[in-house]
Structure 1
Amino acid sequence: MHNENAKSGHPAGPVEKLLEEVEEIIEEVVDLEECARAGRKPPRAHRYRFKVNDKPYEWKEPTILGRQILEVAGLVPPTDYTLRQKMAHGEPRRIGLEDRVDLREPGIEKFRAIKRGQQEGEVQDRRGAPVLDQDRLFLETYGRRWEIIVDGSIWVLFHDFPLPPGYSQTHVLLAIRLESGYPMTALDMMYVYPAITRADGKPIPQVEVMQAIDGKQFQRWSRHRTAANPWVPGEDSLETHIYLVEDFFRAEFTR
């Protein structure tokens, strides 16, 4: 949680201050996302690494203001952006410009910044089908322009979806099919437009099939969960599937 003492200007109590002073700095750089995934509290360190819109940045202090997070990420003026803190468990938290974030709080994964007025500028985008409340919350905080369309199935479209280095494209239009029966039924695969290749010319397996969506020919990436990572209703969702899609694109270069 946020350090309420720091936010209100009250000094830490004598016990907390003493513990902080005697705690040893054991790491040069601590990665918040790695700590969150490991379920451990970030230790004291000389620098703290966190992501803003999936790009890593570092900060020398254990606390930071919301406006400073945006400034470090080059998102200026900060007043043009809204900021959310993504936690390993629970819903994203909205961070105000003057809110002080404790980078050592367990569970902080990353931050998402969205330019103010983005939704107003997208009123022409399509919302052709309803989505679950948890999915709408994710879509509105993920930091990508999105649409919902019905074309045989219900599709979620992510515009300008970034790819890791090594592909023929840097960004694509990504489509995810909301399967009948979702969220009890697993989401599967991903579809991209335009079709992409590896920059080094090596073939990408299981991407030969094309799928017509919204008048375009999308390349279908046949990628599936394994028995060790099954879909768990109540835990998995569009959000967890998108994070898996991000991993699928990165994993292509680790075969």
Structure 2
Amino acid sequence: PALRIKGLYLVVITIAVAVVFPSLAKIETFGIAEKTGGANGRIIDEKVIPTGLGKALGFTETEPARYRYFLIVAMVLVVTFAVRNLLNSRAGRAIIAIRDNETGAAVSGVNLVRQKVFTFGTSAAMCGLSGTILALDKGFVAEQDFLFPLAVEMLVGLVIGGVATLGGAFIGAFVIVFVKEFSKNVNIDFGLFVLDGKGPFSALIFGVILVIVTFFMPRGIVGSLKPTFMQRVYRIDPKAPPLPENLTRLS
């Protein structure tokens, strides 16, 4: 059904799935709650330990957290490299064409259904990989880890970093983590109420940043600063085309 909709309606359906998911994880039908752990969650028994290559690089089983950290960094670099190559490939150009002008892409010969299915599948695979890493790193997973506020944070980070930019994902993630950690250490007494990390302070900061970025950087931080940065890095001076050899310059 997602192939039939686009734009704002696709965003609404994505948010709706995020709202419904915690309830689906607790359904007893078809043994779903038994597999997910239901409301109590599920303990992950599997452990991430260094393999032969990991041990050769100096990792030991006595420091699993250190090994998981560098493993996650390596996976992020691999996924980033893969996505960048994908965007520069024929399939990536087709995806960008669909994003910019779906009708024009179809007229140019792009198979809309195939490219959309490929895009959704690739995105789902990356989300599944990140969820697996999260579960293995925490050692416990429950439906409370995937509530609606998490989906909102992802969208806020996407808009702040820059939609359709690879570097925007890193900027958006940094802003989300920094704001959440910063808000935990804030304690301001206004007399009538106390503003601290236990309240909606992080949500307030997210809202302020989102409004500022929307007004002054509508394409996000990376999308707005990249053209200016590239202009400072290099400049192309137009040159007149060379004259043919059989012609002489008029004086």
Q: What TM-score comes out, normalization by structure 2 length?
A: 0.23
Higher relative contact order (CA 8 A, sep 6+): 2
Structure with bigger helix share is 2
Q: What TM-score comes out, normalization by structure 1 length?
A: 0.22
In terms of Rg, which structure is larger? 2
